[in-house]
Structure 1
Amino acid sequence: MDFRQLEYFEAVVKAGSVSQAAKALNMTQPPLSSAISRLEQEVGVQLLVRSPHGVRPTSAGRYLLSQGGMMLAARNRVERVLKLMGTGLLGELRIGAEPMVIHEVIADVLSSFAALAPDVRVALTDTNPRAVLEGLGTGEFDIGCIPWAPEDIATPIRERFDWLPLRKIDLRLAVPAARAAERHPEGRDWGRWILPHRVPGMPGMLEAVESELAGTPSFDSILVSNPQTAIPLVAAGIGVSPSTERICAHDPRVGAAPPPRWLKPMQVTLALRKGTERTPLITRWLDLATSMAGSDRATKRLVRATAPS
């Protein structure tokens, strides 16, 4: 018994006659009669009572009509779901991202993606860059996003992933609102800095600040998990921290000052584990993220890890 036989049987019962059903199905009567007869032979029970006035279902036929209808409806649902999955409009997408890039890039992409594919379930985890890459490696995340350029990542880490640079984030210096008018282009008179923890194999803000200010008498630092965590500490007057305009704007007690000259913009980069299945859903999301970032890279040209020259 197959779905076509069920469709034929349903059409015959609905029409009340084989000839009328054949017309509705745009076929001749003999093949339809033969198909119904074969169905009865396969299931081993009479399904229709035939008379000069037409046909009606037997008790077995009524049971098949009920169950067959549910089977056909289930098949139709499966077909619809598979078609949506095939176009990247249904499924689950698991993203791991560093909080700064969520504020600056990912939130906007997810907003547009929700309008484009409202039936997709997105699970977003904000965590530190090391955990993002670990989650990609274990399969916890489908896509990762970190504020690092691939060439700044140690080769053993870089070679495990494929990379798609999106755009750069302009940094600001989160300072207590009362100090927002101060200007220290070389960064040497801000006092205490609040910085993200060191990430092995991925030199970042901490290394940049220490490289410039470690010998400065007034330099001191407190380490936190991410730039967001630093904001309430900055608001309390404990120190200053590299951040972004958007993150600073979340707390009126915090001002956004120009960063030191040597604190360069950060590169937002998407990462996928090598060998990850590029599903239509992942491809659609990458296409949208790339488009919104203003990048001219196509997802098919996802950057392969190479050793720096």
Structure 2
Amino acid sequence: MDSRQLHYFRTVVDQRSFTRAADVLHMTQPSLSLSVRRLEKDLDVQLLTRTSSGVEPTEAGRYLYSVASQIGQEMEQARAHLHDIASGAVGRVRLSVAPEFNWGFLPDILLRLRREAPDVELTVIDPAPAETLANVQEGRSDLGLMITSDVSDLQRRYGDTLVVETVATLPLQLALPERLSHLPSPVNIADLREETLIIPFAHPSFIGLPEILEVYWAAHPEFRPYRIQKVSTLQTAVPLVSGGVGVAYVTGVAQSFTTTRVHYRDIPDPPPPLHTALLHRRDAFLSPAAERLRLLLLDCVPGQGR
């Protein structure tokens, strides 16, 4: 017994005639009759009987018709669901994303994904960049979105195991507390050496803001601050700036989660920009749902282009 035989049998019952059923199925009546006889032989039971009004199912035939109808519906549902999976309309995706994107960017992605593929289940975590890198490497996340100062360095280090895509360029600005809101834009960094500079920790797994600042200060020693406060991420720096602890180099993304007590100023001779990198494992199959999200991220990440 197979699905084709069940379909033939159901059609005969629906049409109450082998002749009409054969026309519907675009096959000859003898071939259809042979298929039904083989089904009856396989099951060792009579399924149909001929009456003056047409072909009628026996009690066994009525039971099989009910079962076959349910199987047919489930097969149609399976076919539709498989199509949705293949198109990325359903599925599960795990995303590790830099905390900096939580306010002004990630909500837009979630809303767009919900509109385009409401049945995709997205799990989001926002760890520090080094953990995002590890999550993707070890398969805990399907995709990772992180901020780095050198995407090519990531590609050199991890290109054998990870696909690393440059998504956007993020120029640096200076975030100032309320007490420094009177300073013009662009601001003279040399005038702020007495202020505590809040920057993320350096990580051995990738090149970030601390490394490019060291190169920047080597070329411009007059810009090196006297005091540095290290924090876990760029996002952590903004509340500290708001509280008056000091100043911080930030990207334009930071303005999405700012308060009225944080003011942003351009820099006349700024450090090199940061970059957004999108990661996924090279040796792992990227599901259609994950691929859909990857394309959304490439399309929607804020910045000045790839």
Which bin holds the TM-score, normalised by the shorter protein? 0.7 to 0.9
Question: Take 1:215 and 1:121, find their aligned partners in 2: how far apart are those partners?
Answer: 50
Question: Take 1:283 and 1:151, find their aligned partners in 2: how far apart are those partners?
Answer: 22
Partner of 2:229, secondary structure, is strand
List runs of 5+ in structure 1 lacking aligned partners.
Answer: 298-309
Describe the superposition over 1:197-252 as per-residue Cα deviations: whole angstroms up to 9, x where unpaired: 22113231223345529998962222222222222222111122222344335322
After superposition, the Cα gap between the structure-2 partners of 1:163 and 1:113, relative to the gap in structure 1 and judged at 3 Å, is: same
For 2:175, the equivalent position in structure 1 comes to: 174
1:204 aligns with 2:208: yes
After superposition, the Cα gap between the structure-2 partners of 1:291 and 1:248, relative to the gap in structure 1 and judged at 3 Å, is: closer
After alignment, is 48-57 or 122-131 more displaced?
48-57
Per the TM alignment, residue 278 of structure 1 is displaced from its structure 2 partner at its CA by 3.8
Per the TM alignment, residue 120 of structure 1 is displaced from its structure 2 partner at its CA by 1.9
After superposition, the Cα gap between the structure-2 partners of 1:154 and 1:223, relative to the gap in structure 1 and judged at 3 Å, is: farther
Q: How does 1:54-133 map to 2 (within 5 A)?
A: 54-102=54-102, 106-133=106-133
2:169 touches 2:305 (CA, 8 Å); kept in 1?
Answer: no
Question: Take 1:240 and 1:27, find their aligned partners in 2: how far apart are those partners?
Answer: 80
Describe the superposition over 1:12-47 as per-residue Cα deviations: whole angstroms up to 9, x where unpaired: 222222223223323332222211111111111112
TM-score by length of 1: 0.83
Question: Take 1:114 and 1:217, find their aligned partners in 2: how far apart are those partners?
Answer: 46
Question: Take 2:212 and 2:87, find their aligned partners in 1: how far apart are those partners?
Answer: 43
Per the TM alignment, residue 123 of structure 1 is displaced from its structure 2 partner at its CA by 1.8
The correspondence for 2:196, drawn from 186, 192, 196, is: 192
Per the TM alignment, residue 267 of structure 1 is displaced from its structure 2 partner at its CA by 0.9
Describe the superposition over 1:73-103 as per-residue Cα deviations: whole angstroms up to 9, x where unpaired: 1111111111122222222222211122455
TM-score by length of 2: 0.84
1:104 touches 1:169 (CA, 8 Å); kept in 2?
Answer: no
2:94 touches 2:143 (CA, 8 Å); kept in 1?
Answer: yes
After superposition, the Cα gap between the structure-2 partners of 1:102 and 1:12, relative to the gap in structure 1 and judged at 3 Å, is: same
Q: How does 1:202-241 map to 2 (within 5 A)?
A: 202-210=206-214, 212=217, 219-241=226-248
After superposition, the Cα gap between the structure-2 partners of 1:103 and 1:172, relative to the gap in structure 1 and judged at 3 Å, is: farther
Q: How does 1:275-286 map to 2 (within 5 A)?
A: 275-286=283-294
AA aligned opposite 2:28: T
Question: Take 2:190 and 2:284, find their aligned partners in 1: how far apart are those partners?
Answer: 43
AA aligned opposite 1:261: D
AA aligned opposite 1:220: R
For 1:304, the equivalent position in structure 2 comes to: none
Identity of aligned residues (%): 30
AA aligned opposite 2:153: D
For 1:267, the equivalent position in structure 2 comes to: 275
After superposition, the Cα gap between the structure-2 partners of 1:217 and 1:89, relative to the gap in structure 1 and judged at 3 Å, is: closer
Partner of 1:147, secondary structure, is strand
Question: Take 1:68 and 1:3, find their aligned partners in 2: how far apart are those partners?
Answer: 8
Partner of 1:94, secondary structure, is strand
Per the TM alignment, residue 9 of structure 1 is displaced from its structure 2 partner at its CA by 1.4
Per the TM alignment, residue 190 of structure 1 is displaced from its structure 2 partner at its CA by 5.5
1:157 touches 1:201 (CA, 8 Å); kept in 2?
Answer: no
AA aligned opposite 1:269: A
Partner of 1:32, secondary structure, is helix
Partner of 1:41, secondary structure, is helix
